[in-house]
Structure 1
Amino acid sequence: MCTGKCSRFVGLALLPMAFIAIIANLLLMFPNGETKWTDHITLQVWLMAGLGGAGLFMLCPSCNAIRAGGKGCCGEGCCGNRCRMLRSTISSIFGALGSFYCVAVAGTAMSDGPLCNRNNETGKLSDWGYHFKEMENHYLFNQSLWDTCIQPPNIVLWHIVLFSMLLGLGILEFVLCAIQLINSLFGIMCGDCRKKGNNDA
């Protein structure tokens, strides 16, 4: 595959992933789809790994990769499109850092579990905390533990699904940024293998 076509493919793949990560992070700010729980959101949600690292931060490498897959930077066939490949190389490094940040935050969130309210010994709902961190058995593999959290409703499933999405998206984005980094380096050294008449393909 030509370096230009590969860049375009990577850029077009990163773009929807960035928007999905933004949506997932925004949904995490409203547990169970309700606004009344916004005072009880995990630290990892406030770190905005999906909104920033895997989302807005990924738009730059995505757009640069798409542009690197287009026509030459100074006209058709100029320098084998090396100028745009150079910009794509730099932005891919920042994109990889953003996706790594998302993976680290989402992985920590999955390990710690959600911030929730549980029944304490007196039976009153006044015990907010990261209760799954205190347990010996990991909550991800024991669904019976999910009933420990009473409020917000369905918070464990909400937490797992959305942070799993962010974790998966972060890994995929990191891999794609690494591919684009290598691809753009080849593009800088060797130019775009496409003929002048096919530069916009």
Structure 2
Amino acid sequence: MCTASCSRCIAISLYLLAFISIVCNIILFFPGWSVQYAMNGEIMKEVKLMGGLIGGGLMVLCPALFIHLTGKHGCCGNRCGMCVSILFALLGVAGALYSFVVALWGLLLCKAKHEYSHYLSVMTDTDWCTKMKHFNTALFSILLVTSVLEFLLCVTQMINGLFGCICGTCKNTGILSWHIYSANSPTFPFPLLSSK
């Protein structure tokens, strides 16, 4: 796979992960599918930091858009575009790390029994608090996983961008490539360098 095709695959994956992060963070503002606690300002601080919306969402979505462009024909499909994609991927890494830290901290608070009141200070019903704990734990866990995947994909794009910057994006015609011939070929098992 050439670096341009790899960029497109990474960008499409980042689109999906960023969408999941944004949706999860929005849902966290409505525990138990109720708007009451958001209106009363009783949402935990880790939700208000919007790690999934800002970090895993917007800060990953912007690099994904540019990375997608680097994989297409045109002004961005060149060495310069691949070099710039490294910087955008670095922004995605920062966003993924921010989302990871916020999600991890929120997950730890959700799992601490003595922190139930930290989430909904007005609630005294233990069963209800437990239900909200599971609600948040599931969403923070999803954010944690998506942030790790986003981090790995952005790091991969940084490496891919480095190769694209050095070797090009494989978009030019007449590019040389290696072809391994079958055992019936007289040149087997030696590769032949030929143009496409």
Q: TM-score, normalised by structure 2?
A: 0.78
Once the two structures are superposed, the pairs formed by residues 121-140 of structure 1 within 5 Å of their partners are 128-129=117-118
CA apart distance, 1:195: 4.0
Distance in 2 separating the partners of 1:161 and 1:52: 19
Deviation string, structure 1 residues 14-38 (Cα, Å, up to 9, x no partner): 0111111101000000101100112
CA apart distance, 1:194: 3.7
Is 2:42 the counterpart of 1:65? no
Aligned with 2:107 (options 107, 110, 115): 110
Distance in 2 separating the partners of 1:117 and 1:97: 31
Distance in 2 separating the partners of 1:115 and 1:34: 23
Look at both structures and tell me which one has the larger radius of gyration over its CA atoms. Answer: 2
Q: Which residue of 1 aligns with 2:22?
A: 22
Q: Which residue of 2 aligns with 1:193?
A: 170
Q: Which structure 2 segments of 5+ residues have no match?
A: 176-196
CA apart distance, 1:96: 0.3
Percent identical residues: 38
Is 2:46 the counterpart of 1:44? yes
Q: Which residue of 2 aligns with 1:182?
A: 159
Aligned with 1:150 (options 128, 132, 137): 128
Distance in 1 separating the partners of 2:14 and 2:172: 26
Once the two structures are superposed, the pairs formed by residues 161-180 of structure 1 within 5 Å of their partners are 161-180=138-157
Higher normalized contact order (CA 8 Å, seq sep 6+, divided by chain length): 1
Deviation string, structure 1 residues 148-193 (Cα, Å, up to 9, x no partner): 4534x72111101110110000000000000000000110111012
Amino acid at match of 1:20: I
CA apart distance, 1:129: 2.7
> What SS does the corresponding residue of 1:154 show, helix, strand or coil?
helix
Q: Which structure 1 segments of 5+ residues have no match?
A: 75-79, 119-126, 132-146
How many residues of Structure 1 are paired with residues of Structure 2 in the alignment? 169
